[in-house]
């Protein structure tokens, strides 16, 4: 039929009669190789199609207004007593949190950084009361001189109980306590004669007797210690502590404290209000977390206590950062997703650059400053719903040390980067898979056909040349 003939003339793939084709061994070998190559490339393309690929993009931080950032820390101070170890937090908006205790734990450690006791709850009395100046007695008689290194041991061993006030003349809290202490000393010694040897109130000038105060691990002034037959150590749950008084500094409070001590001269007094015990170890490990706004801020570790002053030259802020990271630690499943999707892969310290680092104070009044630049990476896996994305925080850290006039401290200043990295998974489109598959089959088949044609012509030409030589 004429119409069918016209359609047939548009055939791109015209067939040759089978009697006009010729099979060859070389063609068979090429065909087998072509089939294997097509199957291999098709398998690789199928695997690529079924595998997702990460895609990274940078945008301005999309964190919601008022969203809080969790900072997790564990910092060990080898020469800072848990009695005075304090954490303050401040930020660029003027927010200040002083002496955080709710989410912070203190653990006494020894000189090697090993655990030396139980976790301590910070129950420091914040509003220590003093006598009103009008109520303080003006005693002209100095009942006793300050103890010195020469007579301290003999005095504390002579009496059943010695309540010792370690003070510094320049300390304003010591100056406020001085008239009250003299009045209490007079009344206690009048009530309990020295001949009985039951109790003695004494004082030690830590400016004149620096070595004596350091031997007794005095860091803050005033420090009121209780010595029983020359020793101020008590043991609780296998941990050595100081027996000390930290209650109100009024005449009546101190007299009540003295009266409560005398009946128990042979045993440590555990239950009197104002008697507290902190580990008699040189160091303290502070651990926990804080929730802060996503603005520049500072974690400020220092020695501080209400009603005490400090000799800056005796404070050593040498510390070890056991860990310092932002946000929540990923679960094992999420860590696997991070390893797969993270643009640069994961290293051991990818989220905690400061873990295990030691910072040594090489001179007096050393303050440490650490600057942390925090970057937020949001991971959005394809197999999870969009509302199940999770955040991962990384940071860079720079540190330096300097000597200043203020109280030595360890400061961790953090700043959030305004740029957020968003990592998503991408899957290849089906049309891309079909197109690539066709290209593989057509391309390999075409190239192999050309090679087969060249090979066939070459062999035919060689045969003709050989026949010509024979003829």
Residues belonging to the active site: 171, 174
The answer to whether residues 369 and 402 touch, using CB atoms and an 8 Å cutoff, is yes
d(CA 81, CA 110): 10
Token code pair at residue 33: 């190789």
d(CA 128, CA 273): 13
The answer to whether residues 324 and 395 touch, using CB atoms and an 8 Å cutoff, is no
The answer to whether residues 168 and 309 touch, using CB atoms and an 8 Å cutoff, is yes
d(CA 33, CA 444): 10
Half-sphere exposure of 403 (CA within 13 A, CB side): 10
Burial of residue 470 (number of CB atoms within 10 Å: 0-12, 13-18, 19+)? exposed
Q: Is 189 helix (H, G, I), strand (E, B) or coil?
A: helix
For the CA atoms of 124, 319, 415, 303, what is the dihedral angle to 10 degrees?
Answer: 30
Question: CA of 308: how far to CAs of 84, 170, 408, in Å?
Answer: 9, 12, 15
């Amino acid at each position: 039929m004429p119409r069918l003939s016209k359609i047939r003339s548009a055939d791109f793939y015209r067939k040759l009669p089978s009697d006009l084709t010729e099979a060859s061994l070389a063609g068979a070998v090429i065909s087998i190789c072509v089939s294997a190559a097509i199957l291999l490339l098709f398998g690789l393309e199928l695997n690529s199609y079924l595998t997702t690929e990460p895609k990274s993009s940078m945008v301005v931080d999309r964190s919601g207004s008022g969203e809080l950032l969790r900072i997790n820390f564990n910092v060990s101070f080898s020469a800072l007593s848990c009695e005075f170890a304090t954490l303050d937090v401040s930020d660029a908006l003027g927010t200040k949190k002083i002496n955080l205790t709710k989410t912070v734990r203190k653990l006494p450690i020894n000189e090697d950084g090993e655990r030396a006791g139980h976790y301590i709850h910070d129950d420091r009395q914040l509003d220590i009361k003093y006598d009103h100046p009008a109520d303080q007695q003006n005693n002209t008689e100095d009942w006793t001189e300050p103890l010195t290194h020469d007579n301290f041991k003999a005095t504390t061993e002579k009496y059943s109980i010695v309540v010792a006030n370690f003070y510094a003349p320049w300390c304003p809290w010591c100056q406020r306590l001085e008239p009250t202490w003299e009045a209490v000393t007079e009344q206690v010694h009048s009530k309990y004669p020295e001949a009985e040897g039951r109790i003695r109130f004494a004082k030690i000038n830590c400016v004149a007797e620096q070595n004596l105060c350091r031997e007794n691990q005095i860091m803050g002034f005033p420090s009121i210690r209780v010595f029983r037959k020359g020793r101020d150590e008590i043991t609780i749950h296998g941990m050595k502590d100081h027996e000390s008084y930290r209650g109100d500094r009024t005449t009546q409070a101190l007299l009540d404290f003295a009266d409560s001590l005398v009946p128990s001269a042979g045993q440590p007094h555990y239950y009197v209000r104002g008697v507290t015990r902190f580990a008699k170890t040189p160091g303290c490990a502070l651990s926990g977390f804080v929730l802060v706004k996503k603005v520049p801020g500072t974690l400020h570790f220092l020695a501080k206590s209400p009603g005490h002053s400090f000799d800056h030259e005796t404070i050593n802020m040498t510390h070890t950062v056991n860990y310092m990271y932002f946000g929540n630690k990923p679960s094992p499943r999420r860590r696997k997703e991070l390893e797969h999707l993270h643009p640069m892969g994961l290293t051991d310290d990818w989220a905690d650059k400061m873990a295990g680092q030691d910072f040594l104070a090489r001179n007096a009044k050393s303050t440490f400053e650490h600057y942390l630049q925090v970057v937020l990476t949001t991971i959005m896996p394809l197999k999870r719903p969009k509302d199940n994305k999770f955040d991962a925080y990384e940071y860079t850290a720079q540190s330096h040390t300097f000597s200043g006039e203020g109280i030595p401290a360890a400061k961790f200043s953090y700043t959030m980067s305004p740029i957020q990295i968003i990592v998503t998974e991408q899957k290849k489109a089906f049309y891309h898979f079909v197109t690539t598959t066709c290209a593989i089959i057509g391309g390999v088949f075409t190239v192999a056909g050309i090679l087969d044609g060249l090979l066939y012509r070459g062999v035919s030409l060689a045969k003709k040349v050989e026949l010509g030589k024979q003829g």
